[in-house]
Amino acid sequence: MNAVVIQAYGSPGVFTELAVDVPVITDTQVLIEIYATTASSADQLVRSGAFKQVVQVRFPHVLGVEVAGIVRAAGVNVSQLKVGDRVMGLARAGGGYADFAALEESGAVVIPPELSFQEAAALPASALTAWQSLFQYGKLHSRQRILIHAGAGGVGHLAVQLAKQHGAYVIATARTTNHEFVRQLGADEVIDHTTTDFAEAAGDVDIVLDMVRDTAVDADTGIGLTERKNTLILRDNGRLISLVDPSIATHPKVRGIEARFAYIEPNRNDLTSIIQLVQENKLKVHVDESFPFTAHGIAAAHTHYETRPFRGKLVIVRQQE
Ligand SMILES: NC(=O)c1ccc[n+]([C@@H]2O[C@H](COP(=O)([O-])OP(=O)(O)OC[C@H]3O[C@@H](n4cnc5c(N)ncnc54)[C@H](OP(=O)(O)O)[C@@H]3O)[C@@H](O)[C@H]2O)c1
C-alpha cells in the first residue's frame, strides 16, 4: 500500500511517499481503508522530534492519529464493528497517513450519516481530549465558571461548545480575529491573549483548561508564567487541568487547587456520547481547510499548522465518499 512516511524527524518537508506492507490486525483490531485524517498537534510534535523523549518511533514512521474510513477487515474478537462500516477513531500510535490503518475497536465508533469523512476525521482526538478534560479530569458542573485557553483551536473550539452545553459560564482566550467564531460556539467572554493579560481580565474561575505551552518556566520550580497566572485566578479548591505539562501534579499545592495533567485515552463510550451530541446538533466540528493525501499535500497541511493561524482542524483527504 502507499504511505506518506517520515524517515527522520524534521520540518514539514520531511514527508515522502513509500510502498509499505498493509498492517496486520490483531484479534481486537479493525483494518480501515483511510478516507480522511488530520494534521494534529500530536502529529506535529512527533514529526518535529519535539516529543522524541515521550514517544519512541521506528523509521519509516506513519503519522496520523485521527482517522476516518471504511472497515475492510475485522479481528475475531471485534463485536461492535463490521466490514463495510464507516468508522472514525483515535490511532494513538499513528497510521492514518496511509491507504490502510489498524485501529483498536475500543478506540473507534461508527460515523453517523450526517457526518462526512472529513468532519469525522477531525473529531476523535480533539473531541476526546475536550470531553475527558472537562468531565473526567475537570468534573465540570453547570453554573461553574471555566477559563478555556485557545478557544479557537482543535481542542478548544470543541471544549467551548461542550462546556456551554453543560451549563457552565465560559471564558475563552483567542486572538481578536477569532472572537466572533468563539462567541458563536457559546463563549460568554473572549479575551485576546495577544493584547490582554488573561489573569486581569478573567475574574475568578472554578476550572482552567490550559493548553498553552509555557515558554517562561522557572528553572528551579518548573512552574511557568501561564501556570502561575492560572493559579491566581482559580478559586480555593478549584481545578487546573493541563494538556501540556505532565509534571503539574507534582508542583506544590496552592489553596486546595487540584492540578492534573490530562492524559487522553481512546474510549468508545466517550466517543459515543460525543457522536450523540453531534447528531442532536449540539456539537459541531469546524474544518478550517482540507489538503490532498500526498507527501506534498501533507507537508502543506503541517506547514499551515505551524505558520498560519487557523480555526478548528486541518484535514487531509485521501478520497471522497
Ligand atoms: N494531554 C493530551 O493528551 C493532549 C491531547 C490533545 C492535545 N494536547 C495539547 O493541547 C494543546 C492544544 O491542542 P490543539 O490540538 O487544540 O492545538 P491547536 O489546534 O494547534 O490550537 C492551538 C491554538 O492555540 C492558540 N494559542 C496560541 N498561543 C496561545 C496563547 N498564548 N494563549 C492562548 N491561546 C493560544 C491559537 O489560537 P489563536 O489563533 O486564537 O491565537 C490556536 O488556535 C497542544 O499543545 C496539544 O499538544 C494534549
Domain containing 150 equals: 126-261
Are the beta carbons of 168 and 297 closer than 8 angstroms? no
Does 269 fall in a domain? no
Does 254 fall in a domain? yes
Cβ 41 under 6 angstroms from ligand 1: yes
How much is the pLDDT for 12?
A: 98
Ligand 1 center–CA 188 separation, angstroms = 20
pLDDT mean across residues, the chain: 96
CA-angle at 245, arms to 37 and 36, nearest 5°: 0
Ligand 1 center–CA 294 separation, angstroms = 25
Ligand 1 center–CA 24 separation, angstroms = 34
Ligand 1 center–CA 153 separation, angstroms = 6
CATH number at residue 78: 3.90.180.10
In angstroms, the CA 2 to CA 97 distance is 9
- Report the nearest-CA residue for atom 36 of ligand 1: 150
Indicate if the pLDDT at residue 219 is higher than 90. no
- Among residues 21, 199, 28, which one has the least CA distance to residue 105? 28
In angstroms, the CA 115 to CA 111 distance is 7
Cβ 314 under 6 angstroms from ligand 1: no
Indicate if the pLDDT at residue 216 is higher than 90. no
Q: For residues 150-173, give the mean pLDDT.
A: 98
Domain count, the chain: 2
Question: Do 116 and 133 reside in the same domain of the chain?
Answer: no
Question: Do 305 and 203 reside in the same domain of the chain?
Answer: no
Question: Do 131 and 233 reside in the same domain of the chain?
Answer: yes
Are the beta carbons of 193 and 224 closer than 8 angstroms? no
> Among residues 246, 261, 276, which one ends one of the domains?
261
Q: For residues 285-294, give the mean pLDDT.
A: 98
How much is the pLDDT for 105?
A: 96
How much is the pLDDT for 8?
A: 97
- Report the nearest-CA residue for atom 10 of ligand 1: 211
Question: Do 154 and 106 reside in the same domain of the chain?
Answer: no
pLDDT, greater one: 302 or 223: 302
- Among residues 164, 168, 151, 163, which one has the least CA distance to residue 212? 151
Cβ 107 under 6 angstroms from ligand 1: no
Q: Which of 147, 217, 243, 307 to mutate to test the pocket of ligand 1 (most atoms within 8 A of CB)?
A: 243
DSSP-derived pairing of the beta strands 29-38 and 100-104: antiparallel
Could you tell me what percentage of the chain is helix, strand and coil, using 3-state DSSP and rounding each to the nearest 5?
30, 30, 45
E strand or H helix at 78: none
Question: Do 130 and 256 reside in the same domain of the chain?
Answer: yes
Q: Which of 51, 129, 233 to mutate to test the pocket of ligand 1 (most atoms within 8 A of CB)?
A: 129
Phi and psi angles of residue 5, each rounded to the nearest 5 degrees, phi first = -115, 165
How much is the pLDDT for 61?
A: 98
Question: Do 11 and 135 reside in the same domain of the chain?
Answer: no
Q: Grid coordinates in use for 273? A: 456520547
Cβ 150 under 6 angstroms from ligand 1: yes
- Report the nearest-CA residue for atom 40 of ligand 1: 174
Least confident of 52-56, 64-68, 288-292: 52-56
User: pTM for this structure?
Assistant: 0.97
How much is the pLDDT for 307?
A: 96
Ligand 1 center–CA 156 separation, angstroms = 7
In angstroms, the CA 256 to CA 124 distance is 33
In angstroms, the CA 140 to CA 226 distance is 21
Question: Do 144 and 232 reside in the same domain of the chain?
Answer: yes
Question: Do 193 and 218 reside in the same domain of the chain?
Answer: yes
Question: Do 19 and 142 reside in the same domain of the chain?
Answer: no
CB atoms within 10 A of CB 242: 26
Cβ 213 under 6 angstroms from ligand 1: yes
Q: For residues 131-139, give the mean pLDDT.
A: 98
pLDDT, greater one: 320 or 44: 44
